[in-house]
C-alpha cells in the first residue's frame, strides 16, 4: 500500500487530496529536510518503517534542496514503505534548512508534525513517543532534548562542536529567557509540533535553527521535552559550515530585534558606535588641512553612512523590500541630518522657554531627537507602504509587530 508523490512547490497546495492520504486523527507527518543525503535515505526509511507505523499512522514528507540524486533515491526507496512518501523538491533553497522545514510544515495536514534530520542522527523510534507525550500533556510543542536526564549528545562530533553548541545554547537562552523557558535544547533539530499550534506565515527561518524560530516567534502555549541520544551520522558529512554559524548570529539578532523596544535599544547602540567613524573622519580631514566646519559636516556623513549600513543589516533586514536602496539611504540621511539641525533650536527652546540649564537642556534635546529619529526611521524608511506589493508574508508579520 505504498504511495509515492513527487511535487514541486505550488503544485502541492491541494490539501483535500493530501489529507485523504493520512486521514486518521492524531496521525503524524514526519518532515525531513534533505540536502544531498542519498546514502542515508534507505536506512532512514527502513528505521521509520520498523518503529513508527505499527504505533502511529504516519506519512513522510521530504523537503529536498539536493543537487545529487536524493529525490530519485527517495522515489525508489518509497516503493517498500507501508506509508505515503512525498518529496517536495525546491529549485531554490530559500531559507536553507529552516526554509525547507517551514515549507514542509505548510504542506502537512495531519494533527502532528515531527521534524527530523535525514542522516539518522535522530532516532525514528522516538517519533510515536514525542507525539504521545504531546497528547498526554496537552502540549503544542514537544522538544527532543539532549540536555535533560536520559539524553546525550553522543553523536556530536568532536570537542570543538560540543563547545560551540554549548556556547550557542547558553547565548540563545540568555537572549530569550522567557520565550525559551522550559526548553533545555533550543538548538535541537528534532521536535514534534501540533498543527494547530503553528502559524507558519509569521515564520522567517534563516538557516539551521528552526526550532528556535518556532519557539520565539510563535511559541505554543504548552511545551514539554523528551530526552534523546543524538546518534552518529549514518553516512556522509554534516552540511553545517562556518557560514552557517554567521547565519545563526544574524538569525539571533533578527529575532531579538523583533520587538520595538529591543529595536530602539539596538538603534541607540548602533548610533553610539557611529561616533567612531565620525571622529576618525574629523581627525583625518582636519589633519589634511580642511576647515573644521566642512570637516564636521563631511565626518558626520561618515557616521550616518556607518549607522545606515549597520541598521540595514542588523535591525531592519527583513523590512528593506518596501523601498529601494537609494530611497532608504536618502531618507535615512535626511532624518539623521535633520536631527542635527533640530537640536540647536530645541536646546534654545528648552533654555529660553522652560528656563532649563544648558546641560539638562542638551541632554533632553539629545533624547528627544533620538526618539524622533528612531520613530521617523521606522515609519518613513522601513514601514510597508500602503498598497505596495512587497512580500505579503513578511508584510503581515510587520503589521502584527507594529500593532
Binders of Mn ion among 352-391, rule CB under 5 A? Answer: none
84-89 vs 141-145, strand pairing mode: unpaired
Report if residue 119 touches Mn ion, rule: CB under 5 A.
yes
Q: Is 34 in the site for Mn ion (CB under 5 A)?
A: no
121 belongs to the binding site for Mn ion (CB under 5 A) = yes
In angstroms, rounded to a whole number, what is the distance separating the alpha carbons of residues 131 and 199?
A: 19
Cα 147 from Cα 128, distance rounded (Å): 20
> Binding residues for ligand GDD, per CB under 6 A?
33-35, 37, 63-65, 93, 96-97, 100, 117-119, 121, 156, 165, 187, 189, 208, 238-240
Pick 134 or 186: Cβ nearer Mn ion = 186
C-beta of 33 vs 303, nearer to ligand GDD: 33
Provide the minimum distance between the beta carbon of 164 and ligand GDD in the complex, in angstroms, as a whole number: 9
**Shortest separation between residue 238's beta carbon and Mn ion, angstroms:** 5
Geometric angle at alpha carbon 101, from 98 and 103, rounded to 5° = 110
Nearer to Mn ion, 234 or 316 (CB): 234
Q: Is 225 in the site for Mn ion (CB under 5 A)?
A: no
How many whole angstroms separate alpha carbon 231 and alpha carbon 238? 13
d(CA 140, CA 183): 13
Q: Where are the alpha helices (DSSP H) in 52-193?
A: 70-78, 96-107, 127-137, 158-175
In terms of CB distance, is 187 or 206 closer to ligand GDD?
A: 187
Residues with Cβ within 8 Å of 98's Cβ and at least 6 positions away in sequence, in order, are 205, 206, 207, 208, 209, 210, 213
Give the Cα separation of 381 and 211 in Å (integer).
Answer: 31
Dist. CA 313–CA 310, nearest whole Å: 5
From the list ligand GDD, Mn ion, none, partner contacted by residue 33 (C-beta under 5 to 8 A by kind): ligand GDD
| 188: region left, alpha or beta (phi > 0 left; psi from -120 to 50 alpha) | beta
CB of residue 60 to ligand GDD, shortest distance in Å: 13
Cβ closest to Mn ion, residue 111 vs residue 117? 117
Q: How far is the CB of 44 from Mn ion (least distance, A)?
A: 12
Q: 86 in the Ramachandran plot: left (φ > 0), alpha (ψ -120 to 50) or beta?
A: beta
Residue 271 CB, nearest approach to ligand GDD (Å):
34
User: Among all chains, which residue has been given the C-alpha cell 547602540?
Assistant: 269
Q: Which does 118 bind (CB under 5 to 8 A by kind): Mn ion, ligand GDD, none?
A: ligand GDD
Helix axes 292-310, 325-354, angle to 10 degrees: 120
**Least Å from the CB of residue 122 to Mn ion:** 8
- Can you tell me the distance from the alpha carbon of 50 to that of 46, in angstroms, rounded to the nearest whole number? 6
Chain position whose Cβ is nearest to ligand GDD: 189
Question: Which residue's CB is nearer to Mn ion, number 49 or number 121?
Answer: 121
- Report how many residues bind Mn ion under the rule CB under 5 A: 3
Residue ranges of E strands in 136-258: 141-145, 191-194, 223-227
- Report the residue number, 5 or 117, with the smaller CB distance to Mn ion: 117
**Residue 266, contacted partner among Mn ion, ligand GDD, none, CB below 5-8 A by kind:** none
CB of 94 to ligand GDD, least distance (A): 9
Which of 38/278 has CB closer to ligand GDD?
Answer: 38
Query: Which residues are at the interface with Mn ion (CB under 5 A)?
Result: 117, 119, 121
Amino acid at each position: 500500500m505504498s504511495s509515492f508523490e513527487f511535487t514541486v512547490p505550488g503544485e502541492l497546495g491541494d490539501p483535500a487530496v493530501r489529507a485523504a492520504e493520512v486521514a486518521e486523527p492524531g496521525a503524524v507527518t514526519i518532515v525531513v529536510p534533505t540536502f544531498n543525503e542519498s546514502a542515508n535515505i534507505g536506512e532512514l526509511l527502513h528505521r521509520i518503517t520498523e518503529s513508527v507505523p505499527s504505533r502511529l499512522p504516519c506519512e513522510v514528507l521530504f523537503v529536498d534542496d539536493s543537487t545529487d540524486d536524493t529525490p530519485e533515491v527517495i522515489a525508489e526507496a518509497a516503493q517498500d514503505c507501508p506509508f505515503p512518501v512525498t518529496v517536495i523538491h525546491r529549485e531554490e533553497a530559500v531559507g536553507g534548512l529552516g526554509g525547507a522545514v517551514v515549507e514542509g510544515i505548510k504542506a502537512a495536514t495531519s494533527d502532528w508534525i515531527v521534524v527530523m534530520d535525514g542522516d539518522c542522527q535522530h532516532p525514528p523510534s522516538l517519533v510515536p513517543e514525542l507525539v504521545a507525550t504531546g497528547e498526554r500533556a496537552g502540549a503544542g510543542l514537544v522538544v527532543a532534548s539532549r540536555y535533560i536526564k536520559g539524553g546525550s549528545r553522543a553523536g556530536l562530533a568532536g570537542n570543538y562542536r560540543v563547545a560551540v553548541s554549548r556556547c550557542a545554547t547558553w547565548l540563545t537562552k540568555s537572549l530569550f529567557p522567557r520565550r525559551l523557558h522550559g526548553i533545555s535544547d533550543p538548538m535541537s533539530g528534532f521536535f514534534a509540533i501540533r498543527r494547530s499550534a503553528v502559524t507558519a506565515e509569521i515564520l522567517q527561518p534563516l538557516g539551521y535553527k528552526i526550532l528556535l524560530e518556532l519557539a520565539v516567534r510563535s511559541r505554543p502555549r504548552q511545551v514539554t521535552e523528551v530526552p534523546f541520544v543524538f546518534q552518529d551520522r549514518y553516512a556522509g558529512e554534516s552540511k553545517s559550515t562556518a557560514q552557517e554559524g554567521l547565519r545563526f548570529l544574524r538569525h539571533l539578532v533578527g529575532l531579538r530585534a523583533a520587538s520595538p523596544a529591543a529595536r530602539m535599544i539596538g538603534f541607540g547602540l548602533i548610533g553610539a558606535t557611529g561616533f567612531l567613524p565620525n571622529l576618525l573622519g574629523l581627525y583625518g580631514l582636519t589633519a589634511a588641512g580642511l576647515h573644521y566646519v566642512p570637516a564636521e559636516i563631511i565626518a558626520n556623513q561618515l557616521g550616518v553612512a556607518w549607522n545606515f549600513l549597520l541598521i540595514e543589516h542588523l535591525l531592519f533586514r527583513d523590512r528593506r523590500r518596501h523601498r529601494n536602496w537609494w530611497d532608504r539611504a536618502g531618507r535615512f540621511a535626511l532624518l539623521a541630518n535633520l536631527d542635527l539641525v533640530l537640536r540647536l533650536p530645541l536646546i534654545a527652546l528648552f533654555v529660553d522657554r522652560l528656563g532649563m540649564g544648558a546641560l539638562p537642556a542638551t541632554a533632553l534635546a539629545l533624547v528627544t531627537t533620538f526618539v524622533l529619529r528612531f520613530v521617523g526611521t521606522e515609519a518613513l524608511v522601513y514601514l510597508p507602504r500602503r498598497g505596495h506589493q512587497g512580500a505579503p508574508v513578511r508584510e503581515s508579520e510587520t503589521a502584527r509587530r507594529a500593532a
